[in-house]
Copies of this chain bind each other. A is one copy, B any other.
Amino acid sequence: MTDSPFPVSEIVASRRPHRKDAARNYDALVTAAREAFAERGADVSLEDVARRAGVGIGTLYRNFPTRRDLFESVYADEVNALCRAAVDLAGLEPWEALTSWLDRFTGYMVTKRAVREALNDESEIFQACRDSMYAAGGPLMERAQKAGAVRTDMEIGDLLRMVSGITATAFDDDAQRNRVLGIALDGVRAGR
């Protein structure tokens, strides 16, 4: 919509079709795919996604010629939301702001099982997503570093990989996941 400092916004907008029914179907597909990826992993059957979205399989293929195209759109959508969240957090204390954002990160990243691979993908759109995410999270990180809350021998990419790795693994329950994440984040704090 409005211009944004994050390249991913352009991409998200440019892919959505113009006609009314087409746009509605496009949205339904992305939503359905997000849910499907979240609960059955990144290799759900595309037929299943189309069914969830209430559209024909042909419509899915017209919008997303390959599985990757679909995943890219879902992912870009989440990154986009995440970038906007980073801006809203500027008011908080540096460490607080950073961890709150990481919280959102684990929340939005419903596609997390597949994010692992996306993080190292060379394609243009993933590049843009990564750049946008670093552009969103980098400042929070640097601010926390300048404030002496975060060690200076690491960067935002390290942190995101750490967090996404941990949150993507299976735990007994959320309590354990948070505990472990907290421990790892203790390693991130400055001054040991």
Instruction: State in angstroms the CA–CA spacing of A120 and B167 once bound together.
Output: 14
Instruction: State in angstroms the CA–CA spacing of A171 and B120 once bound together.
Output: 7
Interface class of chain A by DSSP:
helix
> How close is A49's CB to chain B, nearest CB, in angstroms?
19
Contacts of A166 in B (CB 8 A): 161-162, 165-166, 184
Chain B, Cβ-Cβ closest to A187: B187
Contacts of A189 in B (CB 8 A): 192
Binary interface profile of A, 16-53, with partner B (CB < 8 Å = 1, else 0)?
00000000000000000000000000010000000000
Contacts of A157 in B (CB 8 A): 172, 176
Contact B186–A162 (Cβ < 8 Å): no
Binary interface profile of A, 138-154, with partner B (CB < 8 Å = 1, else 0)?
00000000000001001
Contacts of A187 in B (CB 8 A): 183-188
Q: How many residues of A contact B (CB 8 A)?
A: 31
Contacts of A167 in B (CB 8 A): 165
Does residue A67 face the partner (Cβ distance < 8 Å to B)?
no
Contacts of A183 in B (CB 8 A): 151, 154, 158, 162, 184, 187-188
Contacts of A192 in B (CB 8 A): 186, 189, 192
Contacts of A176 in B (CB 8 A): 157-158, 161
Contacts of A119 in B (CB 8 A): 169-170
> How close is A184's CB to chain B, nearest CB, in angstroms?
4
Task: Report, nearest first, the 4 A-B pairs whose CB atoms are least far apart.
Answer: A187-B187, A165-B169, A186-B187, A120-B170
8 A-B pairs with CB atoms under 8 Å apart are A116-B168, A158-B176, A158-B183, A162-B184, A164-B169, A166-B166, A183-B184, A183-B188
